[in-house]
Amino acid sequence: MGKFTVIYTTFPEKNKALEICKKLLEDRLIVCFNMFEIKSGYWWENSIEISSEYAVFLKTMEEKVEKLKGKLFNLHPYDVPAFIEIKTGYVAEEYLKWAEKEISRNV
């Protein structure tokens, strides 16, 4: 079986996040996503910004990460989007089988 991984990213708007995540699902680059509304603080152009954002966990297989990164960077509204890969340890066998089956279907 392949290796499961999770990508963390953020979006400025809910609708844009949903639009992009749906496209990533349609292209079979992810098998699932989870989205949460959050408050973020960060440095941007020499000042501290505090904003509302949407955090997204993109669930995928390791072999899809590079294609996912290219597609996400192409669609993302931020100049510098977060793209943080979280390597997984244990993943339930049935979940992993489901993920591999779904992500490998023809688009």
- Full set of structural domains in the chain with CATH: 4-103 (3.30.70.120)
pLDDT of residue 107: 63
Q: Which of 39, 75, 72, 71 is nearest to 54 (CA)?
A: 39
Positive or negative, the Cα torsion across 90, 92, 97, 98?
A: negative
- Considering the chain, what is the average pLDDT of its residues? 95
Task: Give the mean pLDDT of 84-102.
Answer: 94
CA distance 7 to 4: 10
Q: Which two tokens stand for residue 77?
A: 């509204």
Tens-place pLDDT, residues 5-38: 999 999 999 999 999 999 999 999 999 999 999 9
Tens-place pLDDT, residues 35-83: 999 999 999 999 999 999 999 999 999 999 999 999 999 999 999 999 9
* Phi, psi (degrees; rounded to nearest 5) at 4: -85, 145
Q: What is the pTM of this model?
A: 0.93
Beta bridge partners of 51: 40
> Within its chain, how far is the Cα of 35 from the centroid?
9
Of all residues in the chain, the percent with pLDDT exceeding 70 is 98
